[in-house]
C-alpha cells in the first residue's frame, strides 16, 4: 500500500467511527428529549427579548463603545 492510500483509508475509517458515535449521541439525546416532552417536563423558553407593547418586535441593545485599544482589567496590588 502506498502512503497516500493508507492515509485515505485511515481518514475514511475515522469519519465512519465519528459518524457512528455522533449518531449514537444524537439518538440518545433525541430519545431523552421526546421522553421529557411526553412527560410534560419541558416548557418553552421565555421570550425576554420581545417587547409586548410594540407588537412582538425584537429590540437589541448596541454593544458598548470602546475608546482606544482594549486592555485587560488591572490587578490590584
Would you state the pLDDT for residue 61? 62
Decide if 61 contacts 71 (C-beta within 8 A).
no
Decide if 29 contacts 21 (C-beta within 8 A).
no
List the chain domain ranges.
Answer: 3-42
Mean local confidence (pLDDT), 26-48: 85
Distance CA 36, CA 43 (A): 10
Predicted confidence band of residue 16 (pLDDT cuts 50, 70, 90): very high
Q: Global pTM? A: 0.46
Amino acid at each position: 500500500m502506498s502512503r497516500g492510500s493508507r492515509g485515505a483509508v485511515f481518514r475514511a475509517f475515522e469519519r465512519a467511527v465519528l459518524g457512528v458515535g455522533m449518531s449514537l449521541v444524537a439518538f440518545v439525546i433525541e430519545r431523552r428529549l421526546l421522553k421529557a416532552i411526553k412527560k410534560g417536563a419541558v416548557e418553552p423558553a421565555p421570550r425576554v427579548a420581545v417587547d409586548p407593547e410594540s407588537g412582538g418586535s425584537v429590540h437589541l441593545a448596541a454593544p458598548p463603545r470602546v475608546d482606544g485599544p482594549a486592555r485587560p482589567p488591572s490587578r490590584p496590588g
